[in-house]
Structures are given as structure tokens and as C-alpha cells.
Structure 1
Amino acid sequence: MKIIQSGITNQTASIAVIISRFNQFVNNNLLFGALDTLTRIGQIKEDKIFKIYVPGAYEIPLIAKYIAKNKKYDAIITIGTIIKGSTDHFKYISSNVYNNLSKISIKYLIPITLGILTANNLEQSIERSGLKMGNKGSEAALAALEMINIISKLKEKMIKS
């Protein structure tokens, strides 16, 4: 049986992080968690991390596609917060963002990880950005690091086969 699995350190990877400015208070905590994980745990050098700010979560897929298409980065981490309001707007925005990011990731064969919170209220989003529920930005960074390494191992395996 052959198994491919990988760790989370990679000193040569380049990572793009797309951050929504809307709900910036929460997103700053998510970004801090992602950057801390990338540099401290993943050992990514700061000059290999490219941060791009966009107005809101809805704009993230367009920038992700632009980055993925240029094939300059090994992974994309998305950071944002979508909080439910009194209308269905929340449902349509989150569904659209998640579906489009998944399609971009598959089309361009680049890991795109979700540090995008969908929460019923501000309290839930604060809890998931560094309090009781951990930091989803950090979790997105961990997933990106592991996926970069898994894809690298798959490429090596395909070349050797």
C-alpha cells in the first residue's frame, strides 16, 4: 500500500492571502492567526506572503481567480466574515463565494483554503476568530501548508512513475 501524507512546514512556498475589509475587526484576528501560523509553524518567510485587501467577501473569488490563473503562488488563503442579517443576502453571498472558490481551486489546481466565517451574529464570529472556538484563519493556514506539501509530493511521485 502506498500512502501520501505530509507535514506543514515549507520554507520555499509562496502564499497569497486575500482579506475582506468588511467586518475588519474580526478579519484582523483571522489574519493574525493565519500569518502567525504561516511564519511560526509553517516557517514561511514574510517576503513569500502576499496580502491583498478587497472590499468584501463577494469580491474574493475574482481576485482568487486572477492569482490562480497567473500560477505565481502555491496556495491562496481567503479571510473574511459573513454575518447573517435579517434578509437572505447572507445565504446567497456565502453560497456564491464558497462555490466559486471551489471551482477556481479545481480548475487551476491550486489549494484555496477558507478562513471565511459564516456566523449568525457578531458574537459567533468573534468566538471563531481567536476565542473559544479557535482561530479559523490559523486553521486555513494549516490546511494550505499541508495541501502545498501533498501536491508537491504528488508531483514528485508522478515524475518518478
Structure 2
Amino acid sequence: MSDFTNTRIAFIRARWHADIVDRAHDGFLAEAETLMPGCVTDAYDVPGAFEMPLLAKKLAATGKYDAVVAAAFVVDGGIYRHDFVAAAVVNGLMEAQMTTDVPVFSVSLTPHNYQETQLLTDFYRTHFISKGAEAARAVKGVLDIELPSAQLHSLPGAVVNG
């Protein structure tokens, strides 16, 4: 895809650690502006990471978006253990894209150890900028894949109806 003027992307931001998560959105927008000029990105906020998969599925199902990106910073200290939440979020995002046929990308990071020190907060704020940019490159890469129906039929093991 070389013309992104009709491309629309939803970007979901969890509000836990918003000062860190918002940097992923910043990095995404900066990279998308370069890689996909004319692309429109709509931002949606949810309370936490656990709420992202359902919204991703609903947004994808509208047919309004070419891709959905979901960003969160999942750490211990909330109601649930971070590893439980992270697994549920990633599995839910995968289910959303498999159900709707709209690509869904995760910028949901789960550090092994996180303490709210200035040093670690600064590190993750910077890290999330680069992760947002990586997500923009991934979105472009997937949207660039344009396989005509004839090519789909010729893929090894492909079973395509229609």
C-alpha cells in the first residue's frame, strides 16, 4: 500500500501509568507520519490493560479501522498479578484480530521488576517511544501486504473460499 490517505488506525491507551503509556502513542504518531503520510489515528482511553481487548474487538468490528494498536504498561501492584493480566490481554488482542480479520497490534509491556523510581520511569518513558515507533512500522508492514485472491489460493496449505 503506498497511499495511506484513506487509512484509519485506532490507538487504545490504558490509563494506568499514563505518563509512560502515552509515550508509545507519541512514538507511534511520529513514525506513522513519516511512514504513512495521510493516515488518521484515533485515540481511545481505557482504565487499564484488561479493558483493551474488548474495545479492540469492538473497534475492529466497526469496519472503520484498517488496524488497531493497544498500549499498556502492566506491572505488579494492582488487583491482579501482572503476568495474569499480561497473558489475558495478549490472548484477548489475538482473539480480537482473529475474529474480526483486522490486524491488532500490542505495545503492552510487562517488566519483571518495576519500582516507581525516577530512573526506571525515565527509562520506560523513553522505551515506550521506541516501542510505539516499532508498532507503526509493524502496522505499515502488515498493511503493505496486498495479496490478490489468486495469490492466496496458491499459498502452500491455503484453503480459501470464494
Write the letter of the residue equivalent to 1:140: A
**Counterpart residue number, 1:54:** 46
Deviations 1:39-69 (A, max 9, x none): 1232134xx2111111111110110011111
**Counterpart residue number, 2:5:** 11
Is the alpha carbon distance of 1:33 and 1:134 closer, same or farther for their aligned partners in structure 2, counting shifts above 3 Å?
closer
**Counterpart residue number, 1:3:** none
**Counterpart residue number, 1:135:** 130
The gaps in structure 2 that reach 5 residues or longer are 154-162
Is the alpha carbon distance of 1:134 and 1:16 closer, same or farther for their aligned partners in structure 2, counting shifts above 3 Å?
closer
Check the 8 A contact 2:75/2:114 in 1, yes or no.
Answer: yes
Match of 1:104 among 87, 96, 111: 96
> Aligned runs of 1:1-161 on 2, under 5 Å?
10-45=4-39, 48-85=40-77, 89-119=81-111, 120-122=113-115, 126-131=122-127, 135-150=130-145, 153-154=146-147, 157-158=148-149
Which has a greater percent of strand? 1
Write the letter of the residue equivalent to 1:158: S
**Aligned-residue identity in percent:** 24
Q: Distance in 2 between matches of 1:134 and 1:64?
A: 21
SS at match of 2:16: coil
Write the letter of the residue equivalent to 1:15: I
SS at match of 2:92: helix
Check the 8 A contact 1:19/1:80 in 2, yes or no.
Answer: yes
Check the 8 A contact 1:128/1:135 in 2, yes or no.
Answer: no
The structural deviation recorded for 1:24 is 0.6
The structural deviation recorded for 1:116 is 1.2
Q: Distance in 2 between matches of 1:147 and 1:35?
A: 17
Is the alpha carbon distance of 1:20 and 1:88 closer, same or farther for their aligned partners in structure 2, counting shifts above 3 Å?
closer
* TM-score, structure 2 as length reference: 0.79
Is the alpha carbon distance of 1:87 and 1:28 closer, same or farther for their aligned partners in structure 2, counting shifts above 3 Å?
closer
Q: Distance in 2 between matches of 1:143 and 1:128?
A: 20
Deviations 1:98-133 (A, max 9, x none): 0010011111111111111111215667535425x8
**Counterpart residue number, 2:157:** none
Deviations 1:67-120 (A, max 9, x none): 111111000011111123499610111000000100111111111111111112
